[in-house]
Structure 1
Amino acid sequence: MIDGRLLVERSIPWGLVGGGLGSQIGYVHRSAALRDGSFVLMAAALDIDPERGRSFGQELGLSAERCYADYRTMFEAEARRPDGIRAVSIATPNNTHFEICKAALNAGLHVVCEKPLCFTTAEAEELLELSRAKQLVVGVTYGYAGHQLIEQAREMIARGDLGEIRIVQMQFAHGFHSEGVEAANPATRWRVDPKFAGPSYVLGDIGTHPLYISEVMLPDLKINRLMCARQSFVKSRAPLEDNAMTIMEYESGAVGYLWSCAVNAGAMHSQKIRVIGSRASIEWWDEHPNQLRYEIQGQPAQILDRGMPYLHLNALHDDRIGAGHPEGLFDAWSNLYYRFALAMEAADRRDAHALRDIRYPGIEAGVEGVRWVENCVRSADQGGVWVDYR
């Protein structure tokens, strides 16, 4: 990876829905997708204002005829072109994800979708079945899961370095919405409106990120039941929560705790995961992504640094600039996007064996994120009771 070679046979013609002028996440998608040459942006429906979207698309180097007024027009027009797009990313508000993803799959396109994938498990499973029937890839942007030290943690746990897993402590608890900032910020306002955000705010918007990282690190750990309590400390956000605590019991007997919060005043990002075993623990914090803390009971704590030769080969494979230089959000997202591209290529050539060997947050991860939010809301709305995970 460090030499920047093209990892796919040919760059995948790619389209973008949403992510127009002023969209931070749109820039992250474009930067990640285009960085390694895995994708090339050929078409877009960037904005609900067609003229604004067309103008911005042309600034990005698109031809005016491929800057579309809406996603349906784009899918239909691109399907008629010999050089039409083969994949599309969806960077729109939550309430549109299901219908756009479904339309893209029906148009024969691979999809990369923002999370949550949709609002209900039933909708998520419908997309799962459709993607399987069409033999198309759906990637979900749990961005930090692409960081190589997550791979290192997965390998250490798998080979038994931590012993028997007992506790998984997760959090994503920033403080930027500790006041009602949405009154003056449209980009935040829709996130706290049930019509656009769905049944939750922080559970779906940020809580599913460390949840998926835990699933990468601990693929065999399955939730048996959970209990969730949620609050709206900024009262105008009710019924959506800006703080939630979820306790999970796993089938193995291990327990998990996940704090989802947007009112942790003074905190920057504070996405952390700590996995505690019978003989050792590991901890990763996205504000210090170059280090994985490894603590063996009775020994001095160790700091494992990204890019060093003592790491597992899977962690070294995703290294981009060598040890010592900082890496973070864009690098992790770029790692996900090249994996999405490899999966799309494998799916197109019907190479099931290769597809099985490519790990990325796919449609199953999207389904699980929706299922987790749904169960958390069900528990919280019953007064914070235990609910069976289904």
Structure 2
Amino acid sequence: MIVGRRQTEKPIRWAMVGGGGTSQIGYVHRSAALRDRTFDLVAGAFDIDPERGRAFGVELGVAPERCHADYRALFAAEAARPDGVQAVSIATPNNTHYAIAKAALESGLHVVCEKPLCFSVAEAEELKRVAADKRKIVGVAYGYAGHQMIEQARAMVAAGELGDIRLVNLAFAHGFHSAAVEETNPATKWRVDPTFAGPSYVLGDLGTHPIYIAETIAPHLKIKRLLCARQSFVKSRAPLEDNAVTLMEYDNGAFGTVWCSAVNAGSMHGQKVRIVGAKASLEWWDERPNQLSFEVQDEPVRILERGMGYLARQATAEDRIGAGHPEGLFEAWANLYGRFAVAMEATDRGDRGRLANLRYPDIDAGVEGVRWVEACVRSAEAGGVWIDYR
């Protein structure tokens, strides 16, 4: 259990690209990274408008001379300093991720990147190659995966408490974009523009989250083939989808479904992960992240609660407060940022022992997210047909 001790020897000197004063996700990144002093925010290129970005950086406490006009200026200036940054987080529109991440890695920096990592598997594999060459980590912002009850679900599947896994039922389907809100909301506008968002909207923006959580809970399941159908119910969003359903066959015979939607009218968030085995099922809902439903056939439903002594050790390792007190999104993200920091420090030291059992959404998770979106789009564009996953 976390008791306030920093998990690294020193804070990682850290910068942000994007995440400026009007960015909701930028605030989440900063709150998570700075919570346990595993990172110190010392530089950045916070906004596409250099003056606005500089003013915001100064407001955050960053020295004016370290608030840069763009990522190229940031990486060049910091490389020339003996106390230059060691890592950067990328919180910019999707179309910029690949170029910024590659430049950061080539500058010798660790990277935390918003998802999707890039637009194509070829680009993702290139980032993986550069990261390996430079011996730097890439962390991907699958923030919900930091919730502790996901660790409990993983432990229970590994222990065989569900039996052979038969079904994986995933959803991330909210209703906040049931109308054309992008007409007045810039944060939504770029997400439905393929120039900025890439080949998909809800598949990449929403669907990759429960896909990664399912991979975390049941890592032995590998997608064999899939079929995807997608729709643009708000017609101005075409060719990007605001609703999609994907069917998946796994190599062990299990079957999966993914519903991702921004037009599920009335739904607040709608991210649920249900894993069904031969003996029992588990369900996790991100609107109630401190609970895990464990449903054994012919027995009463059991609701497992975060922080309790009956949970697996790994399900309490990052708890921030005792049972009964709710933990939420910021704690989940902070757990991941803590793991990112440990991975960065251990990688720089060549400490393979510390890296051996450290799990976080890494470059491979980023590659798989891009692969899943690419496959879904390929299936949908072919008329919703089954395609081999690899």
The aligned residue for residue 63 of structure 2 is 63
User: For the residues of structure 2 that align with 1:10 and 1:348, how far apart are their CA atoms?
Assistant: 13
Quote how far apart the aligned CAs of 1:193 are: 0.2
User: For the residues of structure 2 that align with 1:245 and 1:335, how far apart are their CA atoms?
Assistant: 31
Quote how far apart the aligned CAs of 1:321 are: 1.1
The aligned residue for residue 387 of structure 2 is 387
Quote how far apart the aligned CAs of 1:355 are: 1.5
The aligned residue for residue 218 of structure 2 is 218
**What SS does the aligned partner of 2:42 have?**
strand
Gaps of 5+ in 1: none
How many residue pairs end up in the alignment? Answer: 390
The aligned residue for residue 333 of structure 1 is 333
The correspondence of residues 43-62 of structure 1 with structure 2, limited to 5 A, is: 43-62=43-62
The aligned residue for residue 233 of structure 2 is 233
User: For the residues of structure 2 that align with 1:355 and 1:319, how far apart are their CA atoms?
Assistant: 21
Query: Could you tell me the TM-score, scaled by structure 1's length?
Result: 0.99
Quote how far apart the aligned CAs of 1:62 are: 0.6
Residues 133-188 of structure 1 show CA distances to partners (whole Å, capped at 9, x for unaligned) of 11100000000001110000000000000000000000000000000000000000
The aligned residue for residue 148 of structure 1 is 148
User: For the residues of structure 1 that align with 2:75 and 2:352, how far apart are their CA atoms?
Assistant: 26
The aligned residue for residue 354 of structure 1 is 354
CA contact (8 A) 1:286 1:328 kept: no
Matched residue type, 2:189? R
The correspondence of residues 161-180 of structure 1 with structure 2, limited to 5 A, is: 161-180=161-180
The aligned residue for residue 85 of structure 2 is 85
The aligned residue for residue 196 of structure 1 is 196
User: For the residues of structure 2 that align with 1:108 and 1:245, how far apart are their CA atoms?
Assistant: 40
Quote how far apart the aligned CAs of 1:342 are: 0.3
Matched residue type, 2:380? A
**What SS does the aligned partner of 1:230 have?**
strand
Matched residue type, 1:124? A
The aligned residue for residue 94 of structure 2 is 94
Quote how far apart the aligned CAs of 1:353 are: 2.9
User: For the residues of structure 2 that align with 1:26 and 1:329, how far apart are their CA atoms?
Assistant: 14
Deviation above 3 Å: which 4+ runs of structure 1? none
The aligned residue for residue 124 of structure 1 is 124
Quote how far apart the aligned CAs of 1:296 are: 0.4
**What SS does the aligned partner of 2:316 have?**
helix
**What SS does the aligned partner of 1:20 have?**
coil
Gaps of 5+ in 2: none
Residues 220-260 of structure 1 show CA distances to partners (whole Å, capped at 9, x for unaligned) of 11000000000000000000000000000000000110001
User: For the residues of structure 2 that align with 1:169 and 1:318, how far apart are their CA atoms?
Assistant: 27
**What SS does the aligned partner of 2:284 have?**
strand
For the aligned residues, what is the CA RMSD? 0.6
The aligned residue for residue 274 of structure 1 is 274
Identical residues among aligned pairs (%) = 69
Correspondence 1:371 to 2:371: yes
Quote how far apart the aligned CAs of 1:352 are: 2.3
The aligned residue for residue 303 of structure 1 is 303
**What SS does the aligned partner of 2:171 have?**
strand
User: For the residues of structure 2 that align with 1:321 and 1:182, how far apart are their CA atoms?
Assistant: 39
CA contact (8 A) 1:244 1:259 kept: yes
User: For the residues of structure 2 that align with 1:66 and 1:150, how far apart are their CA atoms?
Assistant: 38
Correspondence 1:242 to 2:237: no
User: For the residues of structure 2 that align with 1:8 and 1:222, how far apart are their CA atoms?
Assistant: 34
CA contact (8 A) 1:87 1:111 kept: yes
User: For the residues of structure 2 that align with 1:130 and 1:355, how far apart are their CA atoms?
Assistant: 19
Matched residue type, 1:137? I
Query: Could you tell me the TM-score, scaled by structure 2's length?
Result: 0.99
